[in-house]
């Protein structure tokens, strides 16, 4: 009775979570579609917007989940996320880029298959996590924060520096007994210009592995003939990639939920609550923290790979600390400590704060024939002299990509004032494996009533 009751309650919880996630995503997508319809977007534009939204929901959801392992479970204040993301994608690029034959303008790579590159990227991000964590985990939370953000900046300086821009690989390498001819002539990080990701498109690589590439091409030409006539492939690619990202989020979620519920995860939560107690109970907390940090860093590396691998190129300025803070805002919106909350936070952040303002701007610009915006704030304010707010509105609309960061800042402040635990933070999982909540019936528990004579209601 009680076991099935418990199972029923768990299933209820699961169902609630699923409905919650679906409801939030549904509202988000519906809002995008309705807004698109209202402002007269064509089908292609509509699908493009959906693909974009799905992409950002996917990547922010994943990265917020990975951060939840660090901060929500273990209490490690890591603000060097973007460094691990950069390491991931740069390693993938170096490993998987085709070997550049001599004289090519771009530096080459090792030319290995993409899945090798992705694996290498994840592993190297994890190794760098180890490198950072080994010394830094002894530090106080705020010191760890500063060390990790400094680390991510060092990574960015390394990507930008001319020292690592390109190395020439000798034609033959002699190793004591045997010599071999490495395929690449040049290899490197590309410096300020970044790297062109001229390996097989990851979507194509994945579909080829699944033997779905030819059916997919057939589907694309079907759509081209019947639904969208002007080159639908990029849009469909985007949509499909978004679907794969959402599957990836599901895998992250499953992995982290399992981790959180495992004995390992319970120790992590105990460390978050009180490291000394966990230590006193005989747990080697340093080891646990190290493992959690490395795992999280590897997941962040994978997040970075999935974010950038489908782009044509990566450049160092993409890896400024701002992205780290975006992911933090996403996690805080959702509520640290809850995996469902982390994903919801990522989705809401992506849909409302990250993509929302830009989408509104695009909609308004397609719907109305607006003149060109003033070039600077002075010209925008000059309109007010003749009681014409139009220049100011145009300028605001034009600078929406900066203003959304102002909005994010204000939202973050508001959240810290009014709801520091986030949307689902009240569901923060406890370190205990049994339910610590008091029974609902107040003072007398179920057993006591049974002893009274089983007078059940």
Partner 1 sequence: MSVSETYVRYRQTLSEEPLAIGVLLVALWMAWSLVSGLLTGGIQISSLASLVWDGLLRGLIIGLAGIGLSMTYSILNFANFAHGDYLTSGAFAGMATSYLIAGIGENSVGALLLVGAGGSVFGGALGIGVTTAPVAVVVGALVAGVATIALALLIDRFVYRPIRDESGIALLITSIGVAFALRYLLQFVFGAGVRGTTAAGSVPRVSVPAIDGTFRVTAHDVSLIVVAGGLMLGVHLLLQRTKLGKAMRAMSDNEDLARITGIPTERVIRTTWIVGAGLTGVAGYMFILWKGTLGFNDGWLLLLLVFAAVILGGIGSIYGAIGGGIIIGLTASVSVIWIPSAFGRAAAFLVMIVILLFKPEGIFSGRTTA
Q: Any idea which residue has 């490690």 for tokens?
A: 76
Minimum separation from the CB atom of position 148 to partner 1 (A) = 10
3-state SS assignment for residue 97: coil
Q: What is the DSSP annotation of 340-360?
A: HHHHHHHHHIIIIIISHHHHH
CB-nearer residue toward partner 1: 17 or 398: 398
Minimum separation from the CB atom of position 330 to partner 1 (A) = 13
CB-nearer residue toward partner 1: 24 or 79: 79
CB-nearer residue toward partner 1: 8 or 409: 409
CB-nearer residue toward partner 1: 130 or 310: 130
CB-nearer residue toward partner 1: 215 or 409: 409
Name the E strands within 190-310: 195-196
Start-to-end C-alpha separation, the chain: 16
CB-nearer residue toward partner 1: 66 or 336: 336
CB-nearer residue toward partner 1: 226 or 402: 402
CB-nearer residue toward partner 1: 92 or 324: 324
Q: What is the DSSP annotation of 248-262?
A: HHHHHHHHHHHHHHS
Minimum separation from the CB atom of position 440 to partner 1 (A) = 31
Burial class (CB in 10 A: 0-12, 13-18, 19+), 237: middle
Positions touching partner 1 (CB under 8 A) are: 77, 135-136, 138-143, 145-147, 149-151, 153-154, 157-158, 160-163, 325, 328-329, 332, 375-379, 381-382, 399, 402-403, 405-406, 408-413, 416-417, 420
User: For the CA atoms of the chain, what is the radius of gyration?
Assistant: 26
Minimum separation from the CB atom of position 176 to partner 1 (A) = 29
Minimum separation from the CB atom of position 327 to partner 1 (A) = 12
Query: Among candidates 189, 221, 211, which has minimal Cα distance to 92?
Result: 189
Query: Among candidates 127, 178, 52, which has minimal Cα distance to 293?
Result: 127
Minimum separation from the CB atom of position 377 to partner 1 (A) = 5
Minimum separation from the CB atom of position 274 to partner 1 (A) = 14
Minimum separation from the CB atom of position 105 to partner 1 (A) = 21
- Quick one: tokens of 116? 């090798």
* Sequence-ordered list of residues with C-beta below 8 angstroms from that of 285, at least 6 positions apart, any chain: 267, 271, 275, 278, 279
Distance of CA 78 to the CA centre of its chain: 14
Cα separation, 208 vs 404, in Å, equals 39
């Amino acid at each position: 009775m009680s076991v099935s009751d418990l199972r029923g309650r768990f299933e209820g919880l699961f169902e609630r979570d699923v409905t919650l996630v679906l409801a939030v995503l549904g509202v988000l997508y519906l809002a995008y579609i309705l807004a698109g319809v209202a402002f007269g977007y064509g089908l292609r534009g509509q699908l493009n917007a959906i693909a974009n939204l799905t992409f950002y929901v996917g990547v922010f959801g994943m990265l917020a989940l990975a951060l939840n392992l660090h901060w929500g479970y273990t209490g490690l204040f890591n603000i060097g996320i973007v460094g691990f993301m950069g390491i991931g994608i740069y390693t993938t690029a170096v490993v998987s880029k085709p070997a550049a034959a001599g004289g090519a303008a771009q530096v080459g790579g090792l030319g290995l298959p993409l899945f090798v590159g992705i694996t290498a990227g994840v592993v190297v991000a994890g190794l760098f996590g180890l490198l950072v964590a080994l010394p830094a985990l002894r530090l106080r939370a705020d010191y760890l924060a500063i060390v990790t953000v400094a680390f991510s900046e060092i990574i960015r300086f390394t990507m930008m520096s001319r020292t690592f821009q390109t190395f020439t690989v000798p034609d033959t390498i002699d190793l004591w007994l045997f010599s071999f001819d490495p395929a690449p002539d040049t290899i490197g990080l590309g410096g300020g210009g970044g790297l062109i990701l001229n390996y097989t498109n990851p979507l194509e690589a994945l579909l080829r592995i699944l033997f779905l590439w030819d059916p997919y091409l057939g589907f694309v030409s079907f759509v081209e003939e019947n639904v969208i006539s002007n080159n639908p492939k990029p849009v469909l690619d985007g949509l499909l990639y978004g679907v794969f990202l959402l599957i990836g989020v599901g895998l992250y979620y499953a992995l982290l939920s399992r981790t959180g519920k495992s004995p390992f995860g319970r120790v992590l939560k105990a460390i978050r609550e009180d490291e000394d107690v966990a230590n006193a109970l005989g747990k080697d907390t340093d080891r646990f923290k190290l493992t959690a940090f490395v795992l999280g860093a590897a997941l962040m590396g994978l997040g970075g790979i999935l974010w950038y691998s489908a782009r044509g190129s990566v450049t160092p300025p993409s890896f400024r600390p701002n992205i780290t803070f975006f992911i933090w805002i996403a996690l805080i919106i959702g509520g640290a400590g809850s995996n469902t909350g982390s994903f919801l936070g990522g989705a809401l952040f992506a849909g409302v704060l990250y993509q929302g303002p830009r989408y509104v701007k695009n909609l308004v610009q397609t719907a109305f024939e607006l003149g060109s915006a003033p070039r600077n704030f002075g010209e925008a304010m000059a309109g007010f002299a003749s009681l014409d707010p139009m220049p100011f509105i145009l300028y605001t609309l034009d600078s929406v990509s900066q203003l959304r960061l102002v909005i994010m800042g204000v939202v973050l402040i508001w959240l810290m004032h009014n709801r520091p635990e986030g949307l689902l933070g009240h569901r923060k999982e406890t370190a205990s494996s049994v339910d610590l909540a008091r029974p609902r019936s107040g003072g007398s528990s179920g057993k006591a009533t049974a002893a009274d004579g089983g007078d059940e209601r």
